[in-house]
Amino acid sequence: MPFQGEQRPYNRKDVMAFPGFRPGVYGIFKDGIALFVGNSGDIKARMLRHVNNDSPNITANEPNIWYAEIMAGAGQARIEERQKQLIAEYTPVCQ
């Protein structure tokens, strides 16, 4: 099952507009190719680190899109399971 959520431009301004303290999974893409799928207890904070180049392998691929799937109340085990499903579906190149 694909990401449940809207496609967003990969830039600091868009990440800053995302609500804080939302747990779930996220994906970073370049022209439809998955670069990375991760999970966090605070997607916004984690994505801010990504757009600030904390992962040179991701940055080198020039991402232009990201997705966030908020999973409030799901529990860490369910979030990790969803991350595994998305990794299997998209086979990210920087995983």
> What residue segments make up the domains of the chain, in order of their start?
8-90
Q: Which tens digits make up the pLDDT trace of 8-63?
A: 999 999 999 999 999 999 999 999 999 999 999 999 999 999 999 999 999 999 99
pTM passes above 0.75:
yes
Closest CA to 67 of 19, 3, 2: 3
Burial grade of 68 (CB within 10 A; 0-12, 13-18, 19 or more): buried
pLDDT at 88: 98
The CATH code belonging to domain 8-90 is: 3.40.1440.10
Burial grade of 89 (CB within 10 A; 0-12, 13-18, 19 or more): middle
Q: Computed over its alpha carbons, how large is the radius of gyration of the chain?
A: 12
How many CB atoms neighbour CB 54 within 10 A? 11
